[in-house]
Amino acid sequence: AQNSDATPKSEENLRSPICCIMGHVDAGKTKLLDCIRETNVQEGEAGGITQQIGATYFPAENILERTKELKADAKLKVPGLLVIDTPGHESFTNLRSRGSGLCDIAILVVDIMDGLKPQTIESLNLLKMRNTKFIVALNKVDRIYDWKSNPNAPIRNAIKQQSKNAQSHFNMRLTNVITQFKEQGLNTELYYENRDMGETCSIVPTSAITGEGIPDLLLLLVKWTEKTMVEKLTYSNEVQCTVLEVKVVEGHGTTIDVVLVNGVLHEGDQIVVCGMQGPIITTIRALLTPHPMKELRVKGNYLHHKEIKAAQSIKITAQGLEHAIVGTGLYVVGHHNDLEDTKESAMEDMKSDLINIGCI
Ligand code: GDP
């Protein structure tokens, strides 16, 4: 039974899962994201990759194209995958914690040559605290002694084609990392040997330089979320939205970059955002995303949308956003949400945010 407010709860109505990438500096987080993007971009003008603000959206067709060697199903249940672009070297603990709080799933990147580092353990603890499921990308396999690259190959094919020597080096490094995780109280296993992803965390060996293992990583992310997170990923009309950045953009004034986790936003919606001097009540002037296929840092030329459905990342222009606070929620005033209640909800976020930063 449906009414005008309820959306049918079924596998037919899933939103894209949101994924963040964590791990120590230099593990290859940025490169991994670049690798997925570039390969997609190179695969054709019409590939449809949309580089969003603060996150990259990978449409399902794109993921299927990348993973066809793995003989995936012809169809995915989710419309795509939204990957949050975590700030790289400058990332602060509080930003990372916000990043992981938004996410349905995470990739924890570990350099196969270095193993676990203090920052890996910090990320691990954050993921545990948030109860966020994750997959380990054991990155830089191309640096294994005597490794022969098979660009963009599924990882099992790539490993099979290595010399005995390279295989034994790989196994040694892998065992080492599995032991290190064990010391942190975490069971891990190569993903294709893992029979119980609920109990044991999967490891996907990858190379962000050669693209080996990237198909495996993408497919596992999507398949695992589709299988185990149906309820969480069921699209709902209730807006759930987080402010990631507050930025001045030429010609647009102060804008906010948000991640819309659920629900839909419209041009002209009255919204409330948590501000340094109290709640900011304003109206969405424009909902913007970059043009598909454009470089992330290309200036200007945003696409305007009348409405945008979750999950997506969006740049919002509106008046009075100067003092908006990063990491807090965006609320829509509607026929069901009274303005006063909405203002209160918005300011509640400020408190929880401070606690959040304080406890890390
Ligand atoms: P981040 O700090 O985790 O974002 O790491 P980066 O993506 O900036 O990567 C750090 C360094 O490792 C850069 O010089 C990358 O080119 C290099 N790198 C990243 N991934 C790989 C990989 O899979 N193989 C090799 N050989 N180098 C990599």
The minimum-distance atom of ligand 1 relative to the CA of 33 is: 7
Q: Is the pLDDT of residue 20 over 80?
A: yes
The mean predicted confidence, pLDDT, of the chain is: 84
Q: For position 353, what pLDDT does the model report? A: 47
Mean pLDDT of 5-25: 78
Question: What is the Rg, in whole angstroms, of the alpha carbon atoms belonging to the chain?
Answer: 21
Query: Atom 14 in ligand 1: which residue has the minimum CA distance?
Result: 26
Q: Is the pLDDT of residue 213 over 80?
A: yes
Mean pLDDT of 129-141: 93
Q: Is the pLDDT of residue 166 over 50?
A: yes
Least confident among 196-200, 211-215, 337-341: 337-341
Q: Is the pLDDT of residue 98 over 60?
A: no
Q: For position 130, what pLDDT does the model report? A: 80
The minimum-distance atom of ligand 1 relative to the CA of 89 is: 2
C-alpha of residue 330 to centroid of ligand 1, in Å: 34
Kindly indicate the confidence band of residue 59, based on its pLDDT and cuts at 50, 70 and 90: confident
Q: For position 243, what pLDDT does the model report? A: 87
C-alpha of residue 211 to centroid of ligand 1, in Å: 12
Which single residue is written with the structure tokens 């119980």?
196
| Long-range Cβ contacts of 228-234 (<8 Å, 24+ apart) | 228/133, 228/197, 228/198, 229/17, 229/104, 229/105, 229/133, 230/11, 230/14, 231/9, 232/104, 233/14, 233/15, 233/17, 233/78, 233/104, 234/7, 234/9, 234/10, 234/13, 234/14, 234/15
Q: What is the DSSP string of 4-18?
A: SS----SGGGBPPPE
Compute, in degrees rounded to 10, the torsion defined by CA atoms 14, 229, 124, 24: -30
Q: Is the CB of 140 under 6 A from ligand 1?
A: yes
Q: Which two tokens stand for residue 354?
A: 């401070």
The minimum-distance atom of ligand 1 relative to the CA of 210 is: 23
How far apart are the C-alpha atoms of 88 and 96, rounded to whole Å? 10
Q: Is the pLDDT of residue 40 over 60?
A: no
State the number of CA atoms in the 13 A half-sphere of 336 facing the CB.
6
**Closest listed residue to residue 331, CA positions, set 254, 279, 287, 257:** 279
Q: Is the pLDDT of residue 84 over 50?
A: yes
C-alpha of residue 115 to centroid of ligand 1, in Å: 14
Q: For position 9, what pLDDT does the model report? A: 54
User: 326's torsion region: left (phi>0), alpha (psi -120 to 50) or beta?
Assistant: beta
Mean pLDDT of 75-103: 65
How far apart are the C-alpha atoms of 56 and 40, rounded to whole Å? 12
pLDDT digits (tens, 9 = 90+) for 270-306: 999 999 999 999 999 999 987 654 444 445 568 899 9
Kindly indicate the confidence band of residue 44, based on its pLDDT and cuts at 50, 70 and 90: very low
pLDDT digits (tens, 9 = 90+) for 323-360: 998 878 899 998 677 899 889 888 887 665 444 433 32
Q: Is the CB of 25 under 6 A from ligand 1?
A: yes
Q: Is the pLDDT of residue 46 over 50?
A: no
How far apart are the C-alpha atoms of 310 and 77, rounded to whole Å? 15
Q: For position 49, what pLDDT does the model report? A: 54
Share of the chain above pLDDT 90, in %: 54
Of residues 43 and 168, more confidence is placed in 168
